[in-house]
């Protein structure tokens, strides 16, 4: 069985990849400047000339609010549509968790590109044609259902389109069909564990799953959390689904040799990492940290140029991986739009999540941050769920231990309220770490 789905792309030398990107961008830029009213208006002094990928540094960034305003002007596709409306074959919508939802439109060519890039990442994470994978993301207007389903299918695996809810029937389906892999959010197994225990008298390992393809939430960078999942379930844990619905459904996935993410969509997405303070492009090198900015290289319907993802990433290794893939590896270390300020310290919920998951002796790993008003704030206030079996008289000490761990890791004071195991509930979709009032 080959180790790469697309070896001609995945093992390409960096210089050859850059040459491929330049060729793709030349055609993409011609398409954008000829057909996108949005960019003709946004950068009128630029659309009349050719641009290299290095020249992109001279044009302004595109952000999500601009796209929302564009769609208000020309609903539903926006003025940044660059194809005939009749060429649109599918419409999705973002979850709208950070503002009004966006309409996401695709041509048939776009659908095929997204599936190809996504399948490459899922295959890198270990999914094979011999697998039967049950897909447990919501089949609604959100891209996580249908689009990720098509990425799974493009690996050659057999896909069971389950969706969310009906957890008891899900467990029965896994048993009846001999399912070998599951695609879901990292928090979903905790919901399954309760039903397995209460309704079936089973342990997670009894299901016999060999692979879990996770996406949609943070937490998998924590080795204790990953190890606990693997120990309980017996499956391999992969962060297989890093992406941005507006740009590309799956851009980054872990291979079987590392817990870092490979940026495996370099042939269809040009990435920049920008210094958060200066906005300058940074070199792709070990330790580089900044905001990920993306430019489509093969998008026909709603192409984006220098789009701010708001994800803060850190390049872990720029050299080729032992798996043979040459794309740089990275971790997501925060989001600029989730960040809040505590006495001058910028705090990312993902950083808190990392700390909480590292304290598995006192907490289940589930928590909620409470933000009252617009900030800045005097301390981090949160509720943390006690570890299963932790006695109530041990909660004050547990809260204090968490406060110390957060202060040492993040540099900001915390006020922790412990709550009972499973008091915060479980979700079959994305879990939000922040509660605002």
Q: Specify the pLDDT at position 349.
A: 81
pTM: 0.80
Residues 263 and 201 in one domain: yes
Q: Going by DSSP bridges, is the β-strand pair 181-184/132-135 parallel, antiparallel, or unpaired?
A: parallel
Residue 249 near residue 143 (C-beta atoms within 8 A): yes
Q: Is 419 helix (H, G, I), strand (E, B) or coil?
A: strand
Give 337's pLDDT tier (boundaries 50, 70, 90): low
Q: What is the average pLDDT across 274-296?
A: 94
Residues 301 and 365 in one domain: no
Spatial distance between the Cα atoms of 323 and 107, rounded to a whole number of angstroms: 33
Residues 372 and 411 in one domain: yes
pLDDT digits (tens, 9 = 90+) for 131-182: 999 999 989 888 889 999 999 999 999 999 999 889 999 999 999 999 999 9
Give 334's pLDDT tier (boundaries 50, 70, 90): confident
Tell me which residue range forms the domain holding 303. 1-335
Residues 134 and 270 in one domain: yes
Domain count, the chain: 2
Residues 94 and 229 in one domain: yes
pLDDT at 97 over 50: no
Residues 293 and 413 in one domain: no
Say which CATH number the domain at 140 has. 3.40.50.12780
Residues 327 and 347 in one domain: no
pLDDT at 430 over 60: no
Q: Specify the pLDDT at position 277.
A: 79
Spatial distance between the Cα atoms of 348 and 330, rounded to a whole number of angstroms: 17
120-129, 287-296, 356-365, 428-437: least confident range: 428-437
pLDDT at 427 over 80: no
Q: What is the average pLDDT across 385-404?
A: 94
Q: Specify the pLDDT at position 98.
A: 47
Which domain-ending residue is among 283, 301, 335?
Answer: 335
Left (φ > 0), alpha (ψ -120 to 50) or beta: where does 164 sit?
Answer: beta
pLDDT digits (tens, 9 = 90+) for 202-246: 999 999 999 999 986 766 777 888 898 999 999 999 999 999 999
Of the candidates 103, 165, 109, which has an alpha carbon nearest to the alpha carbon of residue 137? 165
Q: Specify the pLDDT at position 342.
A: 86
């Amino acid at each position: 069985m080959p180790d790469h789905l697309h070896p001609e792309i995945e093992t390409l030398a960096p210089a050859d990849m850059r040459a491929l990107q330049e060729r793709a961008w030349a055609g993409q830029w011609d398409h954008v400047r000829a057909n996108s009213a949005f960019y003709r208006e946004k950068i009128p002094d630029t659309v009349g000339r050719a641009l290299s990928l290095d020249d992109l540094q001279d044009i302004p960034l595109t952000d999500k609010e601009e796209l929302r305003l564009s769609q208000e002007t020309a609903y539903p596709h926006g003025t940044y549509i660059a194809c005939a409306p009749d060429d649109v074959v599918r419409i999705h919508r973002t979850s709208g968790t950070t503002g009004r939802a966006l309409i996401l439109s695709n041509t048939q060519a776009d659908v095929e590109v997204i599936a190809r890039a996504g399948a490459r990442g899922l295959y890198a994470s270990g999914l094979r044609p011999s697998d039967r994978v049950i897909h447990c993301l919501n089949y609604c207007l959100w891209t996580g259902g249908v689009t990720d389903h098509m990425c799974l299918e493009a690996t050659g695996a057999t896909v069971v389109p389950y969706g969310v809810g009906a957890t008891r029937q899900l467990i029965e389906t896994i048993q009846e069909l001999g399912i070998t892999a599951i695609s879901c959010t990292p928090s979903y197994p905790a919901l399954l564990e309760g039903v397995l225990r209460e309704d079936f008298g089973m342990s997670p390992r009894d299901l016999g799953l060999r692979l879990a393809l996770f996406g949609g939430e943070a937490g998998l960078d924590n080795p204790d959390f990953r190890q606990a999942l693997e120990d309980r379930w017996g499956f391999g844990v992969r962060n297989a689904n890093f992406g941005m619905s507006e740009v590309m459904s799956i851009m980054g996935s872990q291979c079987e040799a590392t817990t870092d993410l490979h940026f495996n969509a370099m042939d269809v997405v040009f990435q920049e990492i920008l210094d958060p303070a200066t906005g300058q492009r940074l070199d792709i090198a070990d330790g580089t940290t900044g905001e990920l900015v993306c430019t489509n290289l093969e998008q026909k319907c709603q192409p984006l140029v220098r789009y701010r993802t708001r994800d803060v990433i850190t390049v872990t290794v720029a050299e080729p991986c032992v798996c043979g893939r040459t794309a740089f590896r990275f971790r997501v270390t925060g989001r600029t739009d989730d960040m809040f300020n505590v006495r001058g310290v910028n705090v990312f919920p993902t950083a808190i999540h990392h700390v909480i998951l590292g304290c598995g002796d006192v907490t289940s790993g589930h928590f909620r941050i409470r933000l009252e008003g617009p900030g800045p704030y005097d301390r981090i206030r949160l509720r943390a769920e006690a570890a299963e079996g932790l006695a109530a008289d041990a909660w004050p000490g547990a809260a204090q231990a968490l406060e110390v761990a957060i202060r040492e890791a993040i540099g900001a004071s915390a006020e922790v309220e412990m709550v009972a195991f499973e008091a915060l509930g479980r979700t079959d979709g994305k879990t939000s770490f922040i509660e605002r009032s």
